[in-house]
Every structure is written in structure tokens, then in C-alpha cells.
Structure 1
Amino acid sequence: MNSPIVQTISECFIKPRYPSQEEPNHPPIHLTSWDLAMLSIHYIQKGLLFNKPAPTNDQENPVKSLIENLKESLSLTLVHFYPLAGRLATQKQENPHSYSVYIDCNNSPGAKFIYATVDLTIADILSPVDVPLVVQSFFDHDRAVNHDGHTMSLLSIQVTELVDGIFIGCSVNHMVVDGTSYWHFLDILSNTFRAQEKSSDISRAPILTRWFPDGCGPIIDLPFTHHEQFINRFRAPPLRERIFHLSSQSVAKLKAKANSECNTTKISSFQAVSALIWRCVTRARGLPRDQVTNCRMAANNRGRIVPPLPSEYFGNSMQTVSGKASAGELLKHGFGWAAWQVHEAVAGHSDAAVREWVGKWMEDPLIYNIEQFYDPFSVMMGSSPRFGMYGNEFGMGKAVAIRSGYGNKFDGKVTSYPGFEGGGSIDLEVCLSPEAMSRIEADEEFMGAVCG
């Protein structure tokens, strides 16, 4: 039976309520190596599922009120986060050669806002073993890559009304934000929504000035003449996508086991969880013993460079670090050994390592494409259970679940969220080939942890 179709009821564009500076126009925001490397990656697509608010005596249609309040709150929040209301622009010339991409904060209709409906219940979304494909329709900019931000909005918020629920899905250009910036914006939007008196005053203003190493920037010249030279529109193979839950007790056990086996206290909870995924997915794939496999993790550079960047730094400040081993090594050694390889990869990501990567990138700019992270032998750990995702309530109480769209998914992509009950629990959104997913569902080591 086919899923009901998500129907768009209305859409519009939202601009900042008023300029945040005296100048009538904002200067262009020039992008860093971390931003520009994302030109061919998908938009970030994350969303929150809520119980539908009940009508009150003086409120016949609470959803209509919710939407109007959200539009107003977005307009006020964009006063500070005004790059999200802009568009990308490219400046190029032939002689002398020049090709640079930046955020034009002025020549844009604004951020996009969509109201849609679907004849489904919360149970229809959460009860199936696999995440239903219809969830991908809860997000705008489906399959768009970041370069499309030249003609598409950099931010799109879609409110989808279910029979008994509300899904707020945000699609944000990954050249403009990383996960830290994404959840910073959503936190401020939620706080503005819940404020009794609407105001553009916020507690944590974004720092919009981009970071460039000494002697570099702010305009970075890319070695291209046309975007077709670096755009790759990745299409994922058939996947199963499933949410696995690890209780706080299970996470604590994994951390204790990893540290005990290595006679250390340095291995973190998330490093232990990542090692579990790495080992079990490798075993489920039945890889040859000499096949090299990686456990890749997204690492936040803010606290690693010297001097550190504040958490409010708005933009991309992340790179990928990798634990590496042959399949035979990974499965021959104990769980703690795998966790130590992950720990060593994270620990080695220092100020010197960050600056070395940036320096090499400036000499030979690399535009990521998803196929670089997708191979049939590795796993990629994305997002972070440290993000305060469930703190964004929008006047509806705590969300009942977090889900994501199509963007940046492939065989071996694992996205981590905080568990609903908090306390260090973790939800893992695992994407695998149907064959590997069936095997990992029968893996004693893995299912013993996620069921514990």
C-alpha cells in the first residue's frame, strides 16, 4: 500500500524583520575552506516530531496560530541570522582568472516557509521497524546540493500537519552552517517562539565573521571556470534506514568495557559507541580479512584550534577524522582495541592537524562529494548526541522523536541523536544495504547493546 502524499497548502518567503545594523545592506560573507569544501554536499535536513497541540477555549485552530507565530519568530530570529535569508553568488572572470563563491545577504526573497498536510498519524511514523520513506517528504530541497543555494533558499522550514502530530523540518545549506550552527539557530528560533513578548533580543548571538588562517582570505579563489567541474549529484543505492536506541546504562557499560580492556580512562562514551558500530557493521558486511575499513567521524574544530573559536561561531568548523584497520584486525582484536583506534584518531586532531589540513586545502582546493565518504567498507558517524535537540519545543512540549531527510545518506552512514529520555542515552539512525541490515539485526554483540 502506498503512503499518503504530503500536500503543500501554502508557501512563502520570510525576511528579517528589520536590519540589525544601520547600513541598509549587509556586506557579502566570504566563505572559508571548511565552507567551500561543502559545495557538492546535500543540505542538512533535520526535524522534530511533536504531538499536535490541543485547541483551547479561545483558540479554534491551534495549528494556524502555531504557523503564524512561527513565521513571526523566524522573521525576528533572522535579524541576527540574516545569512540564512540570503543566497549564494559566484564572482568570476577570465583574465586574470578568478572564481569565488560567497553569501549575498541582500538579493534574495528570504528564507522559505512551507505549510503542508498528510493523512498519517505519529504511530504511522514511529511504529514501523524501518523509517518510512514518506519522512523524506517532510523536508524541502530534497536531493539539492549546496551549490543550488544560488537559486534556492539557504533555509527552508516545512511544517507538516499530521492527524495527531506536527513535524517541523528544517533544510539548511551545509555551506552556511554545520551541526553546531544548525542547532544554535534552531534553539534561538524556539526561544523566540516561546517568549511571551516577541523581541529580536537573543541570549546567544551568532558570530558571523568567518575564520581564516593568517595570511589567507577573505576571498578564496577556486581553480574552476564552471560549477559542472565540481558538482556531483550522488544518488544513494537501495537502503534500509532504522533507529536503534542505546539506554544510558548500555552506553555506560560500553564505555567501561572499552576502557577496562585498554587499561585506560580516556575512551569517551561516543568513541565506544562508534567502535561498536564499526565492528558490527564490518562483521555484517562479511568483508575479506585484508580489506581496509574506516570509522569516520565528524570532528568540531572550534575547541581544537588555538585560540579556540566560541561555540557561537556561525558557519562550518568541522573536518573528518578516521580510525583505520583491516577487517581481520578489527574483528580479531577485542572491542576495546577498536575503541582505542577511534580514540587515537580523535585525540590526534589538534590545532596543528587542523591548520595543516587548511594549508593543504588552500594549495589544492578539494570539493567533497558524497562518494568520498561512501564506500562499501567503512562507516561514517555524523551529527552528535551532545546537541540539545529536544530542548526545541516551540510551545508544544518536548518532541516525541527526531528524524532526518534524504540528504547525505549512504550505505554505512550513522547519524547520532540524544535519546528521548536524556541522561546520556543515544539514538542511532543507521543506513545500510538491506543485506547488511538483516545481518546486523541478528548480531549478538550489537543487539545486546541496543536492547540493553
Structure 2
Amino acid sequence: MAGVVVISETIVRPESYEDGSDRVKIHLTPWDLFFLRTEYAQRGLVFPQPDPKTRIISRLKSSLSVALNIFYPFAGRLVKLDHGDDKTAAFFIDCDGSGVKFVHASAMTVSVSDVLEPANGTVPDFWRGLFPANGVLSCDGVSESLIAFQVTELKDGVFIGYGCNHMVADGSSFWSFFKTWTEICSTGLLDRKKIPPLPLRGWFLGGIDYPIRVPISETTVSPVGVVSSSLPDLHKKIFRFTSRNISELKTKANGEVDSDDRKISSFQAIMAHMWRSIIRNSDLNPEEVIHCKIAMDMRQRLNPPLEKECFGNVVGLATTSTTAGELLNNGLGWAALEINKTVGSQTNEKIRVFAENWVKKPKIPNRLVENNSLVVASSPRFNVYGNDFGWGKPIAVRAGPGITGHGKLLAYPGAEEGDIELQSCLSSHVLDKLLGDAEFLLYVCV
């Protein structure tokens, strides 16, 4: 890739792993298998330039080795079991210590400003070259590392890109791991005696045999199903909501809602504003059915609840559905209330019923982002800017190639406290109209 030169590619293994010691098998749930055909989720963080005397690559690799000793599932591999008798396959994670991919690269013609503010607002040619898992699918985890990192030294900074198999971990687990890695790197030695054992997801439905068998037809990948972020009609844009914008939207949404028992949250107000604005500029038939899907952490919604720190993928999609006409004929408060109701309906009973029905007839989507759907992932609660490897906190976080498509939004905290940043992927004709929509721009910084 022009501008990015790979210097080395190695495998980093857990520090004290011994073959067969403490080997763990992790069974996969319906929510894990849901991601089987999707690309690795890829993100990147921009860091300031460290002191030239700092040997960042050796420090990062040695501290990563220690971190993998704690978050050992990342160092494992998927195992696929083929069952010819009924034409099904099953998957599980073998925590065998195989290690993770670590790439060291250089891009001395690329500056931090090139990454943060690319010319003409388009995705730069060097962009894909900053990430280590382009085109890798979750099902490829049988041979590919379940998480991969690439450290690229820029002209005036450092870019750390990663790709993560979503079947293995969700955002909560990843950022917990990342925080641990940065602390080990910045402080040096870590007293592992003070670190509690990694809490694994211990919840399974009664009456379900693991590993879950899935029809072979549901595990094969259609080329049509893999959505590439390089499609010419898709454009990325970052929208920032200041704490003042957020407060105004929340007040407006709650003011339009005649309900004493339901209060619209800040995030629900933002999502309602984005949803209505995107649909208003999409030229859809009023009868067209549309969806707003928000990724939700289900750990505390189960009964009994899981530990907040439990490792794994425990994310479900809370899906609000309506028609384009109904969404636009009602106000911000109505849309936010519909989202609020959907979020509130994600109960232990509903989650269990979904899983029980899914196991009876497994259905794995070819892609997660579909037409007329807004899909919201990540979270403004993730402590992105609290991570420091020892030479400064991140300047910014950016979405990389991977799971994408028209209507994909990633939510992150803003660099300024109280702000929320939405990284969007939209069709060019919708984005062009959105950028000229005065009602939308009233609450948004582009």
C-alpha cells in the first residue's frame, strides 16, 4: 500500500504459556455465531510521537505478551467440527496460546493531520495499509489470530490499528484488555498476583447442547455478502455532538414525550436525531419499512446477571422498526421514545426466547448492515482516551475497514469531556443532502 511499508510481522504469544497448561475450551452462543460470516471489526488510534529514545516496538510486544497471559482467549484459535451425518458444523474457541499477529510498519510520508483531516474529505489511498486484518472473516479464526495489531510509525505520530474477531469479544471486553495492556506497558512490571482471574462468560441456556450445530449452508460465505468499505458510493464522515448539543436534544426529546415513567436518555435523543435526519434525506417511499439497530451490552440484563467484567461477546441488537412515513410524520420525541421502548424490552425472558428459537433454526446473516437500516455499534461509554502506553494518550480514534455499509454508525466519546462522536458510513447522495440539512446541522458539528 502506497505510503505504508511493513518492517516486520511476528506472532506474540502469552508470556508464560506452556503447551496444554490451563487450556480452556470456550463454547459459542447464538450471539457469537451471528458474526461468523462478518469481517473483523477494525479500528485505529492515533497517538502523539514518542521520544526517539523510546523503543516502543519492543515495549509494546513484551507488554502485549503479559497482557495475553491475562486475556488468554485472544491468543487462541477457532476450531471447526464438521458433522457429515447431518451436514452441520460446530465451532468453539481453543485457548491454545497460538498467539496474535503483530505488524510493525512505517509511513514516514504520512502525518497525523493526513489521518485526521484527509484531503477533500475522502478516504486516503494509504488507509487500508494501516490495518492488519483487511478482508479477514470471523470464520477465518481457525487459522488467523483472533486479534491482530499493527503499529505504524508516522512522520509525527504513531497509529495503532487492530482487527478483532467479534465472535470472541465485544467492545467492552476489548477495551478492558486494551486498558490492561497500556497499564502494563506504561508501568513496566505487573504484579499478576493482584490481578483476579479473567471472568469468562458463564451463562448458557439450559437444554441446549454445546457446541451448537449450524447447517453447513449457513457457514459458507457468499462474495456478495462481504461489504467492502472501499465501495465507491460509500463515504465516511464524523459528526460531533458537544455537551451543549446533547443537552438541547435531550431536553427537546423529553419535552415532546408525554410519559412520566419513561425518560429519554442523551444517547437515545442523539440516535433519534440521526435516524430521522438520515431517513429524511434518503428519498424513501413513506411505506418503506426501516430499522434502527443499536448494539447493547446484555450482561446485566440476564437473570442471574453476568459480571460486568466477564470476557466475551455479550452483545445483542435492539431493533426498532417503523415506516419512513411514520418516523418523519412524528417528532424527535416520538422517535426517541420508540428507541427507549425497544431498549427497555431487552429483558432476560426475551433474550432467552430469541436464543431458544435461533438454535432450532440457525440463521447467520451474510452481512450486518442492510438496506434501510441504521446500525449503531461501539459506545460513548468506552474509555478510549484513558489509555496511555507511556508516551501520551490517544489524539483520536478512527473506524477502519471491516464491518460496514450504508447506515453504519460508530459511537465514541469525544476528545472533549462530555462530547460524543459519531463516525458514519453513508451513501454519497444521502451524505450530500445531510450536509445541507439545516435542521440536522442545528445540533451537530461536522
For residues 126 and 202 of structure 1, the distance between their equivalents in structure 2, rounded to whole angstroms, comes to 39
For residues 420 and 196 of structure 2, the distance between their equivalents in structure 1, rounded to whole angstroms, comes to 26
Moved over 6 A (4+): none
Of the candidates 15, 18, 36, which is equivalent to residue 16 of structure 2?
18
1:19 is displaced (CA, Å) by 3.4
Aligned residue number for residue 117 of structure 1: 106
Post-superposition Cα deviations, 1:152-202, rounded to whole Å, max 9, x if no partner, equal 111111001100010111111111011111111111111111224344456
Q: Is the 8 A contact 1:210 1:315 kept in 2?
A: no
Does 2:244 match 1:249?
yes
For residues 380 and 386 of structure 1, the distance between their equivalents in structure 2, rounded to whole angstroms, comes to 17
Change (3 A) 1:357 1:180: same
For residues 46 and 226 of structure 2, the distance between their equivalents in structure 1, rounded to whole angstroms, comes to 29
For residues 5 and 42 of structure 1, the distance between their equivalents in structure 2, rounded to whole angstroms, comes to 24
SS at match of 2:90: strand
Q: Is the 8 A contact 1:76 1:200 kept in 2?
A: no
Post-superposition Cα deviations, 1:66-118, rounded to whole Å, max 9, x if no partner, equal 1111111111011121111111111223247662111122273x111111111
Letter in 1 for 2:370: Y
For residues 86 and 255 of structure 1, the distance between their equivalents in structure 2, rounded to whole angstroms, comes to 43
For residues 334 and 267 of structure 1, the distance between their equivalents in structure 2, rounded to whole angstroms, comes to 13
1:49 is displaced (CA, Å) by 0.4
Does 2:186 match 1:194?
yes
Letter in 2 for 1:383: S
Unaligned runs of 5+ in 1: none
1:130 is displaced (CA, Å) by 3.0
1:329 is displaced (CA, Å) by 1.4
SS at match of 2:338: helix
SS at match of 1:415: strand
Of the candidates 406, 415, 440, which is equivalent to residue 446 of structure 1?
440
Aligned residue number for residue 386 of structure 1: 381
For residues 269 and 217 of structure 2, the distance between their equivalents in structure 1, rounded to whole angstroms, comes to 45
Aligned residue number for residue 8 of structure 1: 6
SS at match of 2:215: coil
For residues 229 and 240 of structure 1, the distance between their equivalents in structure 2, rounded to whole angstroms, comes to 25
Q: Is the 8 A contact 2:131 2:161 kept in 1?
A: yes
Aligned residue number for residue 276 of structure 2: 279
Letter in 2 for 1:327: A
Aligned residue number for residue 130 of structure 2: 138
Aligned residue number for residue 427 of structure 1: 421
SS at match of 2:307: coil
Aligned residue number for residue 34 of structure 2: 37
Give the paired residue count. Answer: 438
For residues 229 and 158 of structure 1, the distance between their equivalents in structure 2, rounded to whole angstroms, comes to 26
Letter in 1 for 2:121: D
Post-superposition Cα deviations, 1:20-62, rounded to whole Å, max 9, x if no partner, equal 9x9625032221221112110111212210111134xxx3xx2
Matches within 5 A, 1:202-281: 203=195, 205-224=197-216, 227-228=219-220, 232-236=225-229, 237-238=231-232, 239-264=234-259, 266-281=263-278
For residues 402 and 373 of structure 1, the distance between their equivalents in structure 2, rounded to whole angstroms, comes to 21
Of the candidates 61, 64, 72, which is equivalent to residue 82 of structure 1?
72
After superposing the two structures, state which structure 1 stretch, 278-287 or 262-271, moved more. 262-271
CA RMSD of aligned residues (A): 2.2
SS at match of 2:375: strand
For residues 221 and 294 of structure 2, the distance between their equivalents in structure 1, rounded to whole angstroms, comes to 27
Letter in 2 for 1:81: F
In percent, how many aligned pairs have the same letter?
37
Q: Is the 8 A contact 2:45 2:161 kept in 1?
A: yes
For residues 323 and 202 of structure 1, the distance between their equivalents in structure 2, rounded to whole angstroms, comes to 43
Q: Is the 8 A contact 1:120 1:162 kept in 2?
A: yes
Q: TM-score, normalised by structure 2?
A: 0.93
SS at match of 1:435: helix
1:314 is displaced (CA, Å) by 1.2
Does 2:103 match 1:106?
no
